[in-house]
Structure 1
Amino acid sequence: FICEPVYGNAGGISLPAGYLQQVYQKVRAVGGVCIADEVQVGYGRLGHYFWGFEEQGVVPDIISMAKGMGNGHPLGAVITRREIAEALEAEGYFFSSSGGSPVSCRIGMAVLEVMEEEKLWDNARSVGDHFKARLQALTDKHPLVGAVHGMGFYLGVELIRNRQTLEPATEETAQLCERLRELGIFMQPTGDHLNILKIKPPMCTTRQSVDFFVDNVSKVLHELE
């Protein structure tokens, strides 16, 4: 069973409380393995949790991670329990042309060092809370803003045309992103209906940058409404 503990492309939507606890229990009861896909939401980006699965109070058998751990360098890794690693090793020889690169490993260590020294995890929590509060305030000002999801520096703004029918505002989202580009802000719609603004700023993002972003989003929404 493989699952994102927080749904990334949906805009950082958390799973229902206790969901993974129940699913993991059922999967393991029949001999299955539980895998957490932390490629997008892990590595401190959520602010309040280093890993997304921590919100669910579970420990997966395998964790996949990438993206943020390399800070732009192509780097990915897998963490697993010793008995699983030994079982895989017993299957025979495994070869990877670029796996275990010393340069990539050193870059990964440097990322962790900078995160600790500059307290970037704390920054994702404190500035991220400010970010979400400012985005949530848009729901009172703009009918197009239906909901704000996520936490820390993994946030999503869901745009809808009608708060009763929840009709996705797909065209308006595309127009918003195009206008933001003209203002120097690059965003890409996501979600099944392309009506989600998926917001994943750098871990060093400041309140000033957050306010600049939200002010411009509000400005463009006024233009569209």
Structure 2
Amino acid sequence: MNNYSGSKTVKWDIHLPEKVFHIKGTVTVSNELTLPLKTTRRLWVNHLEVFPETATALRSFYDCSFEWGELGQNASYTAALSICIAIFNSERLAENLFICFKEEFVDNFPDGNFELVLEVTRFLNKYNFRLHPHLYSRFCFSAITNSREILLYKDPETGLITTDLAENYALHREYMPDVKVKALNERKQRLLFRLFAKENYIISGYEFPEVMRRVEDMMARFYWRSVEKIITRKITEHYED
């Protein structure tokens, strides 16, 4: 059983019996003459097949299929979440880690058939902040990111749930391998969101549904404000030309 602690220095006790996993992926294209051709992708973790329905039961926004590799799109999140559920044997921990798992591993899987071995110790060390026992990952449809993820903290003593939307926006804006460039970009995005939301970028409450309702409202306003700016800029450029 996972242990929880109010201390910020204590991480989720995962109790992984092994840290090395065999991952296999296959791509099958139907030989039917009808178009478009149907492509089926399947995944196995330690020789046990995993299914997209396992992931979409938690995150129904993502496609109920698998994708991976450099060209993978929405269904790559499904693949990452399904693999994480199989590896970590915990839905909540899998939800906390699968976005990073996609960026670290799934996006780098070979595009076609593959078999490889993953060692997750370095991954867990790199993203250890997501092992905080009181961190929660939630889906936000209105978030202007591909993952649509919002991270929240729940105080173990008071039960207060808090999320920093500026931090979330900066964290999820885009993946950058260069650490220094990423840090500068996050600072820029963080300031941008705070300018928009003013003092309302911190949202807190005692019930997840209520907090997420307010998160959706704020992120939707930010989305439409961003769209408005883009349209205004394009109109201005059109008439300037």
TM class by smaller structure: under 0.3
TM-score w.r.t. length of structure 1: 0.25
* Structure with higher RCO (Cα < 8 A, 6+ apart): 1
